[in-house]
Amino acid sequence: MSNIERETLPASGPTDRRDELHRQHKKKRERGIRKALHYAAIVESSDDAILSKDLDGVILSWNRGAERLFGFTAAEAVGRQVSLIIPEERQDEEPAILDKIRRGEPIRHYETIRQHKNGSLIDISLTISPIRDGRGRIIGASKIARDISELTKARDRQQLLLREMSHRVKNLFALSSSIVGLSARSAHSVAELADSVRERLAALARAHSLTFAHGMVESSGQPATLQSLLRTIVAPFDSPRADGGARISISGVDLPVAGPAVASLALLVHEFATNAAKYGALSADSGTIDVTCSEDGEQVALLWTERGGPRVEPPTGLEGFGGVLSRIAVNKQLGGDIERSWKPEGLAIRLTVPQARLTS
């Protein structure tokens, strides 16, 4: 390049360099502003409550998620103490949280309870992080609060279910032990003992299946009922008559039966049916049984009436399984009463149970 050509080029002096630096700083500021606006949009549109506070617990920012979760608008919350949303009995949590923040310790997934503007309590999970300035000094904290009310309810339901299952399993073991012991008193051989225990445990299993299907699975929505329990237990004994009709008929009121009463009722009804099959109406081809359920004031009455079987006589000698079971199940577990009438045409049993014990 000649000297003449060099002389014709524009000079690049201090002013040009300042302009270039100004343009670079302007672009950097614009990028920073766009980035800040982007982050602000993320915070503002989040479903979670996001807020910030200084080291004295004064709220500095409050997004729409916080407005929805706690009921206070940003104008109502900003500038006030964060204790605004902390229930009275949990006010001591905030000083401990601020102490950790001052030490630079984040708090992750801390489950606690906070208070809505209307006074209602909310189960939440908190994640809290220190906020630092350009020199790395801690100047406040950011909080993300998530509503976990449904999760808490689900966990509570699960714990209730586990406790109920544990209670029922313990009861089943106790009943099974009683069945084995009482069956052994009346059995005359190992085979007879095995058969009687097997049949009684099968009845208990059917009752347990019924309570599980109705009382422990939310999708069912309905408790076990008296008539559904009776039909489930007597079904194996109800073979058709020669004319095609049912041998066991069940009628009357139908009431819900709570879990604790189901096993006791199931064993009682199974014992009624077993004895009918061995010695009563079901041991004859033409025999029938009518089961009628009724309400008598605060009592529920179940009338078991056998017809068409051989003549029955009151038992003699040692008390059998049915007698012992009646005392335990009816008197102690159900708080009821049982009466047997040994009529020439067949056995009649009247079982009465307080409705409150049956349904609660």
The answer to whether residues 333 and 264 touch, using CB atoms and an 8 Å cutoff, is yes
Cα separation, 190 vs 169, whole angstroms: 27
Cα separation, 353 vs 360, whole angstroms: 12
CA-nearest of 306, 301, 297, 289 to 253 is: 301
pTM of the model: 0.49
Mean pLDDT of 231-258: 83
Tell me how crowded residue 221 is: count the other CB atoms within 10 A of its CB: 7
* pLDDT surpassing 70 at residue 242: no
Q: What is the pLDDT of residue 186?
A: 63
Cα separation, 263 vs 209, whole angstroms: 10
230: exposed, middle or buried (Cβ count in 10 Å: 0-12, 13-18, 19+): buried
State the pLDDT confidence band at 283, using cuts at 50, 70 and 90: confident
Q: What is the pLDDT of residue 190?
A: 87
Q: What is the pLDDT of residue 32?
A: 61
Cα separation, 61 vs 178, whole angstroms: 66
Q: What is the pLDDT of residue 214?
A: 45
* pLDDT surpassing 90 at residue 55: yes
C-alpha distances (whole Å) from 150 to each of 30, 128, 146 are 43, 22, 11
Mean pLDDT of 33-45: 62
* pLDDT surpassing 80 at residue 204: no
Q: 152-359: which CATH topology?
A: Heat Shock Protein 90 (3.30.565)
Cα separation, 134 vs 139, whole angstroms: 10
> Between residues 142 and 27, which one has the greater pLDDT?
142
* pLDDT surpassing 70 at residue 39: no
pLDDT digits (tens, 9 = 90+) for 58-111: 999 999 999 999 999 999 999 999 999 999 999 999 999 999 999 999 999 999
Q: Where are the domains of the chain?
A: 46-147, 152-359
Q: 46-147: which CATH topology?
A: Beta-Lactamase (3.30.450)
Mean pLDDT of 249-270: 86
* pLDDT surpassing 80 at residue 294: yes
Mean pLDDT of 14-37: 68
